[in-house]
Amino acid sequence: MSRNFKTIAALPGLLALALTLVPGGLSAAGAAEPAPPREAAVPTITVVQVATRHLRDVVRVSGLVQPQETVLVQPEVDGQVIEALRAEVGDVVAAGAVLAELSDRTLMLQKGQLVAATAAARAAVAQAEAQVLEAQAAADEALRVNERTRALKAQGTASQAQADQAQAAATAATSRLSAATQGQAAAAAQLTQAEAQLANVELQLQRTRVTAPVAGRIVARNATLGAIASGAGQPMFTLIRDDRLELRADVAEADVARLEPGQPANLRVVGGASVSGQVRLVEPGIDAATRLGRVRIGLDGDTSAIRDGMFAEAEIVVTERDGLSVPVTAVADGTEGRTVMKVVDGVVTRVPVRTGIRDGDVIEVLEGLIERDLIVLKAGAFVRDGDHVRPVQPAPVTN
């Protein structure tokens, strides 16, 4: 009986202890009060600022380095032995430099014969000129005699026979003058022919010295000492005119219209060597099989590390300017065009933009944004127009 009484007496204290352990206690009706609602979680999204950058619109091409112009040197005199070679592969020669010498002994003999023939022709011309003068004097005298005899016959002091004889002598003298004149012309023609033959031999003697028609670098030599020179075979020497090289590169069909002569370019070859250049020619045709065009880029500056036949890559600068830009990943393509997700006061808004130059991993924004606007870094992030986000900018990269 006393134990039950003690238990009943302790109940009010246990009840009070239980009420203190229940959050919110009890309401007036004796029920527990509800806990206040928690705030919805806001996602953290990486954003970047719209910034002004120096942008370059480039077209990347690749191809082989080749000479701008190749010059083939052939002998101009056939049938002569190559007696000396004055140039080797790799030599840089000036225009007119002697590359090889051919034998001239046969031509020298021909020259001696023609010199003698020319002298004889000159003597024949002089003799013909003297004959013409003699015939001219005789013809003049015969004409005067004929005139006097005709006058005397008219006066009755000369016979008809004398008049006929004077007329015949005048006619014969005139004929001899004509023959002498023609002989003089024939002698002059023979002299001209002899002089032309002599000049031809002298020209061939000059051509026994094979010279470079232009300045440039020798890249091939097929001439061999003791061989017979011939213009029908392989060229004796091959030169790169002015040692000028160019990159003949393939370019995508869509980029051909963007290229034009004079645009600057940067080239890189195997081994890391680089050289500047500029577009020299954009070929008008497109290959029907590959759908590729061809551009020729002339190399400037020091090209000592560049060789004919090297593979090279080039970046042709089409446009270069400063402009607003965003990462390429921030731009989305859709049915409404290109858009970005702009963040203002923690609220996402889809904004249409007009883009321009793409330079690597950034793209120019021409319309739709201003500098220092915040946009979502990745357009594919799981955010929608009107969502609340907590914007976080990426930490700067340090070395």
Residue 361 CB coordination number (10 Å): 9
- Amino acid of residue 240: I
Answer whether residue 10 is part of any domain. Answer: no
Highest mean pLDDT among 28-32, 181-185, 301-305: 181-185
Mean pLDDT for all residues in the chain: 85
Domain count, the chain: 4
- Amino acid of residue 115: V
| 178 and 86 both lie in a single domain | no
Higher pLDDT, 21 or 245: 245
| 255 and 220 both lie in a single domain | no
| 354 and 332 both lie in a single domain | yes
What angle is formed at CA 367 by the lines to CA 366 and CA 371, rounded to 5 degrees? 80
Contact of 55 with 384, CB cutoff 8 Å: no
- Going by pLDDT thresholds of 50, 70 and 90, the confidence category of residue 61 is very high
Q: Is 75 exposed, middle or buried (0-12, 13-18, 19+ CB in 10 A)?
A: buried
Distance CA 328, CA 360 (A): 9
Answer whether residue 26 is part of any domain. Answer: no
Which of 320, 336, 352 is the last residue in one of the domains? 320
CATH number, domain at 334? 2.40.420.20
Contact of 231 with 105, CB cutoff 8 Å: no
| 343 and 383 both lie in a single domain | yes
Q: By residue range, what is the domain housing residue 217?
A: 73-100+211-239
Query: Span 268-293, mean pLDDT?
Result: 90
362 contact partners, CB below 8 Å, separation of at least 6: 53, 55, 325, 326, 327, 328
pLDDT digits (tens, 9 = 90+) for 194-230: 999 999 999 999 999 999 999 999 999 999 999 999 8
| 310 and 180 both lie in a single domain | no
Q: Among 63-72, 303-312, 340-349, name the one with the lowest average pLDDT.
A: 303-312
Query: Span 54-81, mean pLDDT?
Result: 92
Q: CA separation (Å) from 336 to 340, 351, 373?
A: 12, 10, 21
Strand pairing partners for 104? none
- Going by pLDDT thresholds of 50, 70 and 90, the confidence category of residue 40 is low
CATH number, domain at 269? 2.40.30.170
Answer whether residue 219 is part of any domain. Answer: yes
pLDDT at site 398: 52
| 229 and 286 both lie in a single domain | no
pLDDT at site 340: 93
pLDDT score of 389 more than 70:
yes
| 201 and 110 both lie in a single domain | yes
Which of 189, 220, 239 is the last residue in one of the domains? 239
pLDDT score of 71 more than 80:
yes
Q: In what order do the strands lie in the sheet with 216-221?
A: 70-73, 237-241, 216-221, 92-93
In the chain, the percentage of residues whose pLDDT exceeds 90 is: 59
pLDDT at site 141: 85
pLDDT at site 34: 52
In the chain, the percentage of residues whose pLDDT exceeds 70 is: 89
| 95 and 228 both lie in a single domain | yes
pLDDT at site 15: 38
| 225 and 284 both lie in a single domain | no
Answer whether residue 398 is part of any domain. Answer: no
354 contact partners, CB below 8 Å, separation of at least 6: 338, 365, 366, 367, 368
Answer whether residue 25 is part of any domain. Answer: no
pLDDT at site 189: 93
pLDDT score of 69 more than 90:
yes
Answer whether residue 345 is part of any domain. Answer: yes
pLDDT at site 192: 93
Answer whether residue 160 is part of any domain. Answer: yes
pLDDT score of 265 more than 90:
yes
CATH number, domain at 218? 2.40.50
Higher pLDDT, 133 or 39: 133
Answer whether residue 295 is part of any domain. Answer: yes
Among 217, 308, 241, 316, smallest CA distance to 276 is for 316
